[in-house]
Amino acid sequence: MTNLIGPRTLKGFRDYPPELMIPREHLLEKTRQVYRSYGFVPIDTPALEYTEILLGKIEDESEMRKIIYRFQDHGGRDVALRFDLTVPFARFAAQHIGQIGIPFKRYQMGPVWRGENTGHGRYREFWQCDFDTIGTTANAADIEVALVIHDLMKALGFERFEIRVNSRLLLNGFLEVNGLAGKAGLLLRSLDKLSKIGREKVVEEMTREAGVTPDIAHAVLWLAEVPEAAGDNAKILKLLGQYFDSRPSEKAKEGMHRLSELLEVTRQAGVPEDRIRIDPSIARGLDYYTGTVFETFLLDLPDIGSVCSGGRYDDLAGLFTKQKLPGVGASLGLDRLLAGMEELKMLKDEATAAPVLVVQFLADRLGDYQGMARGLRAAGIGADVFPELKKVGQQLQFAERRGFKVALIAGPDEFAQKVWKVKNLALRQETTVGEDQVIAAVQAIVQQKSISHG
């Protein structure tokens, strides 16, 4: 081969070398465990679907139509790569819910593709980790979403985070009593910019774009600023209650009832009160969500935005079936969270998945080395046998560089005495133990290390 092809990935795509893939797999496993522990079951759907199905709900002028990866397959079909997991789930539900039955709690984790502008750490291929309960309007399902997010964040190693909840019922009730129901989109879009452009500019934009009076604009801002003004959740609910006492709204009442039940049940179920906070300014997906909405922030990195978001919707699959499927769910932003964990130095720098390297000292003892390694594996400890007969020093250097924790060495003397050298690579300490003591000695080092890592 004389003409080499330059090895490269497409713009907006990336490789995951082991040091990125090991923590990524770890997060995916933890997430899967938490979802499952709540009784959510896994499904999967194809990466490719009929374009008609993926774009069915997307408006003609939407950006999504431009960034979707779309082409003709071998059979001349108009096909596209999925851009999220929600539309495929809607199609799946319409197709299979008759056999599956409701309520149905599913999770799905996998890559999606969007040919967006790159930059700001955005990629054209990224993973979503969704969970949803469909077929029920019960607030118990909304409450469970908050519990799942809480337990998930804890399982991923976070203590300092906050789940912000709101209800679109509350927002819509507020807009209705102010005669602004028709201007929801414009107003909420301006409100969304509060943290970026500031109070005065938001008022200016609302009066200009939505054509409301500055008084009304200030009333909308008041809603967004209730939490800071009020303090804790009970006081927020009290202030909101007072507001709606003089402006009765069935929607707002239902929204507030659902939120306060969410706070009460999560507290009773053991979630610390300060982990969940009512934030009436959160709207999310203006057209899609209709009830409770969720966002999750890392207190040490609020600027990276919500790492787990979702909400309640009236109907998942109206495009594909007449059966109404209300539901509630959320999605973990895996890549954003990983970037956050990297910034917070929560990721270990490991390039090995096994803690033990068995050194190859004598070629004709490979069976013994692999036998020892298999014994360790059977005891739940990963072990790698160095494949080549290199100098012991070189093999130990390799072990240190890759982040192995223990090296096991046996040469002629050790085999004669039925002992092994056990080398703690972090502390550079070496002990010699009988062959039936090796697993216990390794276990002691491996456990010690993992405790010290927190």
Whole-number Å distance between alpha carbons of 30 and 50: 32
Inter-residue contact 406 to 425 (CB < 8 Å):
yes
Residues 67-126 that bind a second copy (CB under 8 A): 67, 69, 71-75, 77, 79, 81, 91-92, 94-96, 99-101, 103, 105-106, 111, 113, 115, 125
User: Cβ 151 to a second copy, closest distance in Å?
Assistant: 7
Q: Binder to a second copy among 229, 351, 427, 440 (CB under 8 A)?
A: 351
DSSP for residue 364: G
Residue whose CB is less far from a second copy, 380 or 454: 380
| Dihedral sign from CA coordinates of 437, 441, 442, 447 | positive
Residues 395-424 that bind a second copy (CB under 8 A): 398, 401
Residue whose CB is less far from a second copy, 51 or 296: 51
List, in order, residues 6 or more apart from 174 with CB less than 8 Å away: 220, 223, 249, 252, 280
Element (H, E) at 49: strand 48-50
Residue whose CB is less far from a second copy, 134 or 186: 134
Q: Binder to a second copy among 27, 31, 53, 240 (CB under 8 A)?
A: 53
Whole-number Å distance between alpha carbons of 293 and 314: 13
User: Cβ 239 to a second copy, closest distance in Å?
Assistant: 24
Residue whose CB is less far from a second copy, 222 or 398: 398
Whole-number Å distance between alpha carbons of 154 and 210: 41
Residues 135-154 that bind a second copy (CB under 8 A): 136, 138, 140-141, 143-144, 147, 151
Binding of residue 454 to a second copy (CB under 8 A): no
Residue whose CB is less far from a second copy, 52 or 59: 52
DSSP for residue 119: B
CA 195 vs CA 15, 191, 305: distances in Å: 34, 9, 12
User: Cβ 125 to a second copy, closest distance in Å?
Assistant: 5
User: Cβ 202 to a second copy, closest distance in Å?
Assistant: 34
Residue whose CB is less far from a second copy, 153 or 212: 153
* Burial (0-12, 13-18, 19+ Cβ within 10 Å), 266: buried
Quote the distance between the C-alpha of residue 4 and its chain's center: 39
Binding of residue 436 to a second copy (CB under 8 A): no
Residue whose CB is less far from a second copy, 112 or 184: 112
Binding of residue 161 to a second copy (CB under 8 A): no
Pairing type for strands 70-72 and 308-313 reads unpaired
Q: Binder to a second copy among 219, 230, 344, 366 (CB under 8 A)?
A: 366
Binding of residue 49 to a second copy (CB under 8 A): yes
* Burial (0-12, 13-18, 19+ Cβ within 10 Å), 435: middle
Binding letters toward a second copy, positions 239-278, x by CB under 8 A: ----------------------x--xxxxxxx--------
Binding of residue 391 to a second copy (CB under 8 A): no
Whole-number Å distance between alpha carbons of 123 and 12: 5
